[in-house]
Amino acid sequence: MVVAAGAKFNLRRGNGSINGYDSDGDLSRINNKSRCYLSMAEVDRDSSCVSFTTFNILAPIYKRIDPQNQGLRESDFRSFWWARNQRILDCLVSESSSIMCLQEFWVGNEELVHMYEERLGDAGYHLFKLARTNNRGDGLLTAIHKEYLRVVNYRELLLNDCGDRVAQLLHVQSVSPSVQNHKDSFHQEFLIVNTHLLFPHDSSLCIVRLNQVYQILKYVELYQRENRLKPIPIILCGDWNGSKRGHVYKFLRSQGFVSSYDIANEYSDSYADAHKWVSHRNHRGNICGVDFIWLCNPNQARKPLKTSWAEAVFSILKFQLRKASLSEEDAFAFLKGDNYADAVTYFSFSDALRQVKLIGVPYGLCFQQLQDLWNKADVDGNGVIDFEEFKQKIWNSTCLEPVLEIFNECMEDGNTEQEHEAIGFKVKNAMLYPREVEKGLWPEHYSLSDHARLTAVFSPARMRCSTSQNLASY
């Protein structure tokens, strides 16, 4: 287990069908033995492929069942949550993905936990569950199919922040060697993270959510270094509680991650493509796309983690300043505060960040993170931020640009001394269920959860990694 507090880690090991769709929005199987649609793994996967499913299953303690009585929850009615979770399990078992990552798993109810352990265990899965901190009642469940994959290592990350969020890290390897081009074989190896970020109740929580991802990626890098891992793919699954337009999405893109669903459907990062699919209807009735299966291949160029993080924080700062309708000059004046000199001092910088709620209790940047930001902004190191530095690093920065996408390039014949071989993934397919959400619509007849289920299939691919693409120090 890993406990994260700020930037420090303490390590421990740790019912009928309507137009082909059933009442839960899933295409009915032709043989009618299951009310869920034939799995993509069955239809579109060969033996060398790995399939991933991520699904926020809506914990009964959070599911409201009466709009007129918001305090009434599904957890008060056993027959309700029992039946719904049996339907969820029917779909998951039918999907038969290699790896399942579930969020809002009701770890506080032994009967429900036993239900999942029994059904998924009988289906051949090895289960890992992790409760959120401070006895919040829900948590994460990751299931690994033992026939296809073995778990090399398992770690838990407790963020210990105001959202009591957690993450699971699994180091996984294929059981049977994969054959490619009929020349040789290899065991596919990769890292997978399952997590559920804080809901952005207001814009001041952007920094908390960004820090949650930052802590997760820091620990992934730490795990890779400590175990001296060769370059391998990294997959992040979960409910990110943020859309393609948000700071977390841009931060992950700047770190070389790609959204498997968007790659499979050839969607870009543009504003227009951001609205083509949804995966969640939140408690406010809004629909948005927040569930992702992220992929970062070993040959993907990546910025140093701390650089991407600082750029993301400056992006949030600029967003808050523009939200207050401040012009470039007014924003600089705000950062200067009462300082008469034409420059921002460390004191005025920290006071401005406190006013826009980027630092302070119970959330925000810690002292060391504030220092790191200051050092990035004070380009010449003279102890103040002048107007040119402000424009370069904060106002006109081209921060959070996605790095060059080379993730799907396969290895060609020949090699050079500056390159080495690695095994990565190609995105073969990805689908959302119920299928209406792929058109940006939320089906009223869907009752399994307030989230859609996302499944992606990856196929292995040989690729070259240059020394410049190796893991960057944070």
Per-residue pLDDT tens over the stretch 215-229: 999 999 999 999 999
Q: Is the pLDDT of residue 450 over 80?
A: yes
The gap from C-alpha 61 to its chain's centroid, in whole angstroms, comes to 23
Query: Considering Cα of 331, then 337, then 342, then 343, what sign does the dihedral take?
Result: negative
Strand 17-18 to strand 287-288: parallel, antiparallel, or no bridges (unpaired)?
A: unpaired
Contacts of 142 (CB under 8 A, 6+ apart): 99, 100, 101, 102, 127, 128, 129, 168, 170, 192, 194
Amino acid sitting at position 284: R
For the segment 167-181, what is each residue's pLDDT rounded down to a tens digit? 999 999 999 876 555
The predicted structure's pLDDT at residue 473:
42
Q: What is the DSSP letter of 289?
A: -
Residue found by looking up tokens 């699919």 in the block: 277
What is the per-residue pLDDT for 11? Answer: 40
Domains of the chain in sequence order: 15-303+404-469 (3.60.10.10), 308-395 (1.10.238.10)
258, 293 contact by CB (below 8 A): no
**Its pTM surpasses 0.75:** yes
Query: Distance between CA 214 and CA 133 in Å, rounded?
Result: 19
Q: Strand 50-56 vs strand 99-105: parallel, antiparallel, or unpaired?
A: parallel
Bridge partners, residue 55, by sequence? 102
Joined tokens for residue 409:
């390039």
Residue 341: band (very low, low, confident or very high) from pLDDT cuts 50, 70, 90 = confident
- In whole angstroms, give the CA distance from residue 45 to residue 39: 10
H helices present in 366-419, as ranges: 367-377, 387-390
With CA atoms as reference, report the closest residue to 368 among 215, 182, 251: 215
CA distance 208 to 474: 19
Q: What is the mean pLDDT of residues 355-364?
A: 82
Q: For residue range 172-212, what is the model confidence (pLDDT) as tens digits?
A: 999 987 655 555 677 899 999 999 999 886 767 889 999 99
Is pLDDT at 408 greater than 80 in this prediction?
no
Is the pLDDT at 34 greater than 90? The verdict is: no
Tokens of 11: 């390590």
182 DSSP assignment: T
